[in-house]
Amino acid sequence: MTSIYDNNSVKKMKLSVTVSKNTSKTVPVLLGGDFRESIRKAKQLGYDAVELHIVPGDINVKEIVSCCEKNNIEVSAIGTGRSYVVDKLSLIDDSSVNREMAVARLKEYIDIAESVGSYVIIGCMKGNMRDYSLYDTYENRLSESMKQVSLYAAEKNVLLLLEAINRYENNYMNTAAETLDFIKRNDIPKTKVLLDTFHMNIEEKDMCESIRECGDMLGYVHIADSNRMHAGGGHIDFKKIIDALKDINYNGYLSAECLPIPDGDIAARKGLDFIKPLL
């Protein structure tokens, strides 16, 4: 199947939509149910790719590859958050066993990403600090864990995306600047920044300037409006966001990661119809 790593496949910004086994009104994933049906639906709606939110046992990789090839659609990224939410795996956990399991799980995701030709997102699996006075200890754990994961990713030629998440969901590394600084200061290979417009609206003083400061270290963008509805459902000025992305020659994915309200199909369609004319 076509890989997002192919030079000819990423010439300009493309649109992706989030897909998972199950969806909920409180979880920002739009299409749920049978993965093959969701892939076909994403293509019918007009999306260029799907972002798969999974645990490794959710999918038959060969079936996903075949379905994507038949529908001429790509897998933009693998979302890993369920391994934190459901299995409580964290790269900074106080238990070394838990951290080792988190690293091992991410290697499984990387293997899947290699097969489908996608990126791997690391967001919730950063974990939360239980004692903020031990910030350096926790950050060192993240650095050690990320280096193990990123070296494996480099062997597989899979790019990692470290996501800046708002303070109400993740109690450290909430901004673009903090995330970029961590990657550079700790010399984490094969890793770029993932920015989410919903989180940015909470944390960034100037969303567009934060995008420009990331420059070529911006690897991926999640699109959701200020209220986590589809683009156009809140008050974010997406024209300015797209213009800032154009300023840095961003040619990656804009992935609709928003609440399935009133339902996933409608939100996916409305978000696409709102963003596409701005590209």
Nearest to 224 by CA among 158, 176, 166, 159: 166
pLDDT digits (tens, 9 = 90+) for 120-132: 999 999 999 999 9
Nearest to 49 by CA among 79, 14, 74: 74
pTM of the model: 0.95
Percent of the chain at pLDDT above 90? 95
Q: What is the architecture, at CATH level 2, of domain 7-278?
A: Alpha-Beta Barrel (3.20)
Helix (H, G, I), strand (E, B) or coil at 15: strand
pLDDT digits (tens, 9 = 90+) for 27-61: 999 999 999 999 999 999 999 999 999 999 899 99
| Angstrom distance (rounded) from CA 162 to CA 186 | 13
pLDDT digits (tens, 9 = 90+) for 155-164: 999 999 999 9
What residue ranges do the domains of the chain occupy? 7-278
Q: Check: CB of residue 23 under 8 Å from CB of residue 260.
A: yes
Give residue 6's pLDDT band: very low, low, confident or very high (50, 70, 90). Answer: low
N residues, the chain = 279
The catalytic site residues sit at 163, 257
pLDDT digits (tens, 9 = 90+) for 173-227: 999 999 999 999 999 999 999 999 999 999 999 999 999 999 999 999 999 999 9
Token representation of residue 203: 């944390």
| Angstrom distance (rounded) from CA 148 to CA 55 | 20
Percent of the chain at pLDDT above 70? 96
